[in-house]
Structure 1
Amino acid sequence: MTADEMGEAVSRAVTRLVGHDALHVCWRTPGTGMPSFGFWHRLAPDVERAQLGACYAGREPAHPAELVRRGVLGHVVDARDRRGHRILLDNGFSGELRLLLRGAHGVWGTLALFREQGGRPFEQDDVERVARLAGPLVSASRRYVTAPSLRPSGPDLAPGVIVVGADHAVRAISPDAHAWLREIRLPGSLARPEWAATALSCEVAMAARRFVRDPASPRPVACLPSAYAGRWVSVHGQALDADGRGDVAVLVQQAGRELLPALASWYGVTGRERAVLAHLREGIPAKQIARLLEVSVHTVNEHLKAVYRKTGGAGRDEIAAVLSR
């Protein structure tokens, strides 16, 4: 299914419990907290642009990290949140419901529902009703991500660069980055190159600025799955000055070494299996991995078999090639 078709399917499922006029789902990789991919339905890009601006300015009341800190299922943006509500009013909406999508391994993303002006306001009961879908939505997203082969579906593409300015606007898109934007299956509403570049780079650029000031914060690397992008794609931000206040270069390329955390989350790879893969990625043979992990070679091979089964990988050479690019 395309991103637009997935957005429509999610909207149909949610409508059975909570009515809405537009929808956005943002999926994240548990553990890193970085965005991975998203679906939209009947939501104009201008709404996302304005909300991203508020997020850049530190005025985002319903970021997943903030909802987790507050210990709540979700957040309703209404007249009590003046800045957030003004963005909605300026774009024809009267309210927004933001729900945390939690699963067994943490927070997988957020579901945002919007209602047009003149409609009934969202209430806490709506949050509790739509929360029943969090588990099924997480399960459906994991099936979506893990269905395709790990192998790229086409020829390799050269890395591309998107430059994000100090005002958080996209300043430049390299020709190779344009090729990536054509490759990635973004929703139709984001088809314009400048919008696609913003959607792809915005939060990674924010994370890059934050990482300069706080190296303990999550690394500014997002991984897009092959179901969404035709291959696993890495989006890596790097601030171009010492204090993170200037331009940020966002590198878009085929994912390799940085893929392991995302692969472990989406495919349900265990901690021990991940440790084996980390050594396999370095080209270390099974006997040496066994010595390093203080287990038998048989145990190492059993872990690898489990990974092949979960990922559909054809063998250690294919898995090693995917992770060591």
Structure 2
Amino acid sequence: MPLIVWPNRYPNHPNDLGFPFPPLASDTVDMARSGRAEQDLLRLCHGGMDREGVRREVLRALRRLIPNDAAFLATADPETLLLTGAWPDEPLGTVTQLFLDNEFGRDDVNKFATLATAARPVASLDSTTRRDRPASERYREIMRPLGLGDELRSALIAGGQCWGYLCLHREDHELGFTAAEAATLARVSPHIAQALRNTMLLPGSPAADPALRPGVVLLADDLSTIAMTPEAEHLLSLLEPGQLPLPVAVYGVAAALRGLERHPAGPLPSTRVRTRAGPWLNLHASRLAGPPDAAHITVVAEPVEPRAAVPLMLSAHGLTAREAEVATLVLRGNPTRTISATLHISAHTVQDHLKAVFDKTGVRSRRDLVALLLSPPPP
């Protein structure tokens, strides 16, 4: 009886027995094409694109490298690991809130925050569940109804910090992502992470507009909007629009609050989001006290003071921990001798670190560094 092999729906995919197909002349062509696709992707990642360019061009190039039927790209606050923005392909955009509830309030495999702290930040559903996809609630309740099967997830790590998340989906078919494709994603993910990190350094200022005032959004437990102050409406209008009524960062902190209530641990959820004009906002969620039918979720949006945004901006510039310490002390007006005594390093070492800070931030002096990170935006 002849061996029956599943159709090779994706390039270089193993057959149903897990063995690679015998090398053919066409395989060499496929490998060369794959190598070019990867180099094209890396060039895009380091091309200085804005966030929309990263979303559009990088995902397009990634689809040529790792064929997929839908992708989800998100940015994250590297300190809290909560979402600050999200760009889902269809049909994923119709179930974003279900994904958020699963991500922050349910026990499941390959959670983004788990991958962000794992030794290997890339994993597929099939590999983790040993091809038992229904073992995942996310697959049972969200993906299978959409006709989606295996997913390949990655936390986007650059400089030891997580700047976003990526998830690739394939239609619900027995063949999922291969180990080779997972290895490819692990190889290119740091470059995608750096592209996202670099978008934070595009023109704009981290300084807060003095005209901006904190605002409040009131949400029901199903995350529908009950009320919003005019200040909150204005602040949220400064963020990048998405497919949901409100920016995904609002739903992210609210979903994280509900998850925290199910499994109490840690502080109330918050995240920092950069506006399109440059200034940063802080979003944090809490439960409104009152009768059970009125205990709604409140999300407070408030401008971030310039100095509070400095650590995030220094991380975005790729500074090491020691370089960031030196830069922070410079921003406080400390001379080299004080920095040397505070950090217990020589004055020569301080100057070496400061030179590295200047190189990475693109400035030439302490005054320029202060102007870059603390000066108010031009009128």
Match of 1:81 in 2: 135
Spell out, residue by residue over 1:122-158, the C-alpha distance to the aligned partner (whole angstroms, 9 max, x if none): 3444322322211221222233222324356988433
**CA contact 1:28–1:36 (8 Å) conserved in 2:** yes
Distance 1:300 1:171, change over 3 A: farther
Instruction: Count how many residue pairs are aligned between Structure 1 and Structure 2.
Output: 309
Hey, what's the Cα distance between the residues in 1 that align with 2:111 and 2:60?
24
Counterpart of 2:370 (choices 310, 316, 323) is: 316
Match of 2:145 in 1: 90
Query: Within 5 A, what are the aligned runs for 1:269-284?
Result: 269-278=319-328
Hey, what's the Cα distance between the residues in 2 that align with 1:130 and 1:293?
39
Q: Determine which structure has more spread, i.e. the larger CA radius of gyration.
A: 2
In the TM superposition, residue 87 of structure 1 has moved relative to its aligned partner by 0.6
Give yes or no for the alignment of 1:236 onto 2:283.
Answer: yes
Distance 1:56 1:220, change over 3 A: closer
Hey, what's the Cα distance between the residues in 2 that align with 1:143 and 1:68?
19
- C-alpha RMSD of matched pairs (Å): 3.8
Spell out, residue by residue over 1:37-86, the C-alpha distance to the aligned partner (whole angstroms, 9 max, x if none): 33334454222122112234313422223335665421326733352123
Hey, what's the Cα distance between the residues in 1 that align with 2:184 and 2:342?
49
Match of 1:266 in 2: 316
Give yes or no for the alignment of 1:175 onto 2:224.
Answer: no
What is the letter of the counterpart of residue 310 of structure 2? Answer: L
Deviates more, 1:71-80 or 1:136-145: 71-80
Match of 2:19 in 1: none
Match of 2:155 in 1: 100
Hey, what's the Cα distance between the residues in 2 that align with 1:182 and 1:52?
21
Distance 1:150 1:60, change over 3 A: farther
Give yes or no for the alignment of 1:39 onto 2:90.
Answer: no
Hey, what's the Cα distance between the residues in 2 that align with 1:175 and 1:259?
24
TM-score normalised to structure 2 length: 0.66
TM-score normalised to structure 1 length: 0.75
Match of 2:16 in 1: none
What is the letter of the counterpart of residue 131 of structure 1? Answer: A
Match of 1:112 in 2: 167
In the TM superposition, residue 15 of structure 1 has moved relative to its aligned partner by 1.4
**CA contact 1:280–1:320 (8 Å) conserved in 2:** no
Counterpart of 2:68 (choices 20, 39, 47) is: 20
In the TM superposition, residue 230 of structure 1 has moved relative to its aligned partner by 2.0
**Structure 2: which 5+ runs fail to align?**
1-48, 127-131
Counterpart of 1:255 (choices 304, 307, 310) is: 304
Name the % identity.
Answer: 24
Hey, what's the Cα distance between the residues in 1 that align with 2:163 and 2:62?
17
In the TM superposition, residue 14 of structure 1 has moved relative to its aligned partner by 1.0
In the TM superposition, residue 26 of structure 1 has moved relative to its aligned partner by 1.9
Match of 1:66 in 2: 114
**Structure 1: which 5+ runs fail to align?**
none
Hey, what's the Cα distance between the residues in 2 that align with 1:172 and 1:280?
43
